[in-house]
Chain A
Amino acid sequence: MTASRRILPYVVLTPLVVFAMFPLLWMIATSLKRYADVYTFPPVYLPGALSLEFYAKVLEDTAILRNMLNSLIISSASTVLSVTFGAMAGWVFARARFRGSHLLMRSVVVAYLLPQILIVIPLFVFLHRIGLTNTYAGLILAYVTLTFPFSTWLLTDYMRSIPYEIEEQGRIDGAGNFVIFTRLVLPLAWPGLATAAIFAFINSWNEFLYALVILGSGQKQVLTTGLYNLVGGENAQWGPMMAATTITMLPTLLLFLIVQRRLVSGMTMGSVK
């Protein structure tokens, strides 16, 4: 291969990498600049000094820490439920072959084909009728329905790869279904469980529309709606805003980087939208 041939892919990839990375870098850089370096045009690319003033302002003036706690509670709870139900259903789908099992598995995917708009209002009406709007439980329930199909899909796939002989041996030794599931299958499935958990957590943390409709304001609101409610008037305060978005994004960015290898292996199609 000629030298130019070898460089060509890099030449093509460089603008793409810049395109991909620039917004993140700019966002973080802006959050660490001084006030005067942000509200100026032309923009300052290499600030003379960094400052945490925007982070201080965000922490003082907004309830971002409280929102983060809410996000943590709600995302964790929905993740635990989603992965538990997903493991249960996944095991059944992986092992059982009863009439209609195929149909059930297909309908799991359908859940992701319906427009959110179609789902959000009935869900709101339902939760309102049972008094769960504006509560943790309501949004947790909503997020379980949101993340359960994917958890199931992932875990069905994963559990299929667990050799049946292990369960057979367990049955021979006299173990009932429940024991086989909890003592044999689950421990072996823990990488799949971990992956499913991370995806469910990321999707719950980042979600916006359900949060807006079900828990849109007040003490219990999550990070995403908190951010939304910050941008009240026309006067967008960019500095603090970039600090707030960085804070919001950092946890799931880290989780995403941990789990991105699974994405590459092709195991997961469109898990994080």
Chain B
Amino acid sequence: MTAITYPFRRVGRFSDDNLPILFLVPGLLCLALVIVYPIAYNVYAAFTDANLMYPDVNFVGLENFQATLRDPLLGPVVLTSLVWTFGTVGGQLLVGLVAALALDRVVKGRTPIRLMLIVPWAFPTIVMAYSWRFMLDGTFGVINHLLMVLGLIDQPVSWISQPALAMPIVILVSVWHGFPFMTVTILSAMATIPDELYEAARIDGANYWQEVRFVTLPFIAPILLSVLTLRTIWTFNGFDLIFLMTGGGPVEATTTLPIYAFGVGWLRYDVGRMASISLFMILILAAIIAVYFLAFQRKAR
């Protein structure tokens, strides 16, 4: 009989019997702090004139919502958010898929190549924002030089200060950062595809592209759906990268909903209005997710 030694002072009988519940307490407190409390606070604050500067709080009914909906900036901001979200996710999917398919066909050197492809994932947002800003700099940026050498432009461009260019640039950086995640996810999903499916397709005379279209993609579609949904949510909610690269500018060209909300709440201290914007964001998110599921339900057939 193995003897288990008890070097610890015996935990009280009550706490030991109820250990599972006790063990959940810190976790529940965390979740309360990060889910329940913020939602409750925002729902509450949205109906008040809560302000970070002034201690007194008054009920203002639907004023915040009206102010938000009447803001002429709201339309462009929502549009910018959608462009940012779908541009980023689409780009990450495309590049990630291409990389995954190519990497799948490679045997020699797969590990070092995969490791190098993963590097963007490791960047903290602020480091990413500043290094890309340097590379895109109008005066000293290396990207301008490379483009000039390739003959694509004939003068240095100040990429981030042009309203029309700022959003594509920010999307580019986000795609750069996020495609490794897609690649890795797609690769692991592809690894679960049974070989028989490929063999069957080959017997039917399928070439590579047909294999991809009729075997690979359908098989990984469910995983892709959950990953894309998650990615869409995170991108839509994203704040750090845009804030640190462009601050929302130039001239609100890259102001997405989170940046807009932050400006209202933290820079103008109007927490009540910020809460109304946050709730509005959740509504849009829910709509996007619903669309995803509907679209994929149909495709599944």
Contact = CB atoms under 8 A, between A and B. Distances in A.
Whether A associates with B in a native complex is: yes
B258 A41 contact: no
A245 interface: yes
B20 A96 contact: yes
Contacts of A86: 27
A35 to B, nearest CB: 12
A17 B35 contact: no
A270 B230 contact: yes
A245 B127 contact: yes
B133 A183 contact: no
Contacts of A107: 31, 35
Task: Give the contact-size bracket for chain B.
Answer: 35 or more
B116 A145 contact: no
A144 to B, nearest CB: 6
A144 B125 CA distance: 20
A208 B126 contact: yes
B150 interface: no
Given A173-B3, A205-B124, A125 B30 contact: no
A145 B126 contact: no
A56 interface: no
Interface string B242-262: 001000000000000010011
The 9 tightest CB contacts between A and B, nearest first, are A206-B124, A266-B188, A89-B27, A122-B41, A115-B237, A88-B23, A177-B19, A256-B122, A9-B105
Contact of B119 (A20, A26, A252): A20
Interface in B216-241: 227, 230-231, 233-234, 236-237, 239-240
Interface string B92-129: 00010011001101100000011111111111111110
Interface string B163-196: 0000000000000100011001101110000000
B27 A148 contact: yes
Contacts of A162: none
B33 to A, nearest CB: 5
Interface residues of A, number: 94
A269 B120 contact: no
Interface in A231-262: 231, 236, 238, 241-242, 245, 248-249, 252-253, 256-257, 260
A34 to B, nearest CB: 14
Contacts of A181: 19, 23
Given A23-B120, A245-B126, 14 more contacts: A9-B106, A24-B119, A30-B134, A89-B26, A104-B28, A112-B234, A115-B236, A115-B239, A117-B262, A121-B41, A121-B265, A257-B115, A257-B122, A269-B227
B59 interface: no
B31 A23 contact: no
A49 interface: no
A42 B27 CA distance: 55
Interface string A27-55: 10010000000111111000000000000
A8 B127 CA distance: 33
Interface of A: 8-10, 12-13, 16-17, 19-21, 23-24, 26-27, 30, 38-43, 85-86, 88-89, 91-92, 95-96, 104, 107-108, 110-119, 121-123, 125-126, 144-146, 148-149, 152, 169-170, 173-179, 181-183, 205-206, 208-209, 213, 224, 227-228, 231, 236, 238, 241-242, 245, 248-249, 252-253, 256-257, 260, 263-266, 269-270, 272-273
A205 to B, nearest CB: 7
B244 A85 contact: no
Nearest to A125: B41
Contact of A249 (B31, B124, B278): B124
Interface in B11-56: 11, 15-17, 19-20, 23-24, 26-28, 30-31, 33-35, 37-39, 41-42, 45
Contact of B33 (A16, A123, A245): A123
A179 B6 contact: yes
Nearest to B191: A266
B181 A270 contact: yes
A248 B126 contact: yes
